[in-house]
Amino acid sequence: MTVESPVQRVHLTAAAHTVVSRECGRSLDGNETGGILLGHLHDGMAEVRVAGDPGPTAVRQPDFFLRDLGHAQQLAHDAFTRDGSIWIGEWHTHLAAAPVPSERDLATYARLLADPDLGFEAIVSIIAVANPGWDRPAAYAWTCFGDQAVAVPLILSTDDYCPTAPEEHR
């Protein structure tokens, strides 16, 4: 039995897209990079309003990335205060691997989904790869839920309008 993904598409605002594009350049040093994704989920759409950078104490290796947790928590707090955005997922680069979640990525998402304190129904994952270099990376969106990872359309916005944000936060 196939279960429909709770997230059918990912909308990346211009501000979030700018951060991902800029931060992908860090991978020129031969190490992965990434950050958290903050925004809103509504009617099958993930609206990414904030894409975090890795943070000053992130662990970056050729085949591994671990965000700076304290930095990510501060970004999440600031975004929630500003417009009610919540943690909806993560983005990172792959240097040599295909732009699909790796076994390590899937294990991480499974742990996050299983944590009742986090309350995830699904996790949005954006994976960026060089195209052909890091000056114009290609990004692919995935939604991870249950024991599945499903590719979904990634829509890049030219503005920061957030149709899924509560009215008082637009």
C-alpha 47: how far from chain center: 11
Chain segment 73-112, per-residue pLDDT in tens: 999 999 999 999 999 999 999 998 899 999 999 999 999 9
Confidence grade of residue 1 (pLDDT, cut at 50, 70, 90): very low
**pTM reported for the whole predicted model:** 0.91
Q: Would you state the pLDDT for residue 3? A: 66
Percentage of residues in the chain with pLDDT exceeding 70? 91
Amino acid letter, residue 139: A
Query: Over 70: is that where the pLDDT of 63 sits?
Result: yes
Q: Would you state the pLDDT for residue 168? A: 45
Mean pLDDT of 137-155: 94
Chain segment 157-169, per-residue pLDDT in tens: 876 655 544 444 4
The torsion defined by the Cα of 46, 107, 93 and 138, in degrees rounded to 10, comes to -50
Hey, what domains does the chain have and what are their CATH numbers? Answer: 9-157 (3.40.140.10)
Residue appearing with tokens 């732009």: 99
d(CA 33, CA 70): 16
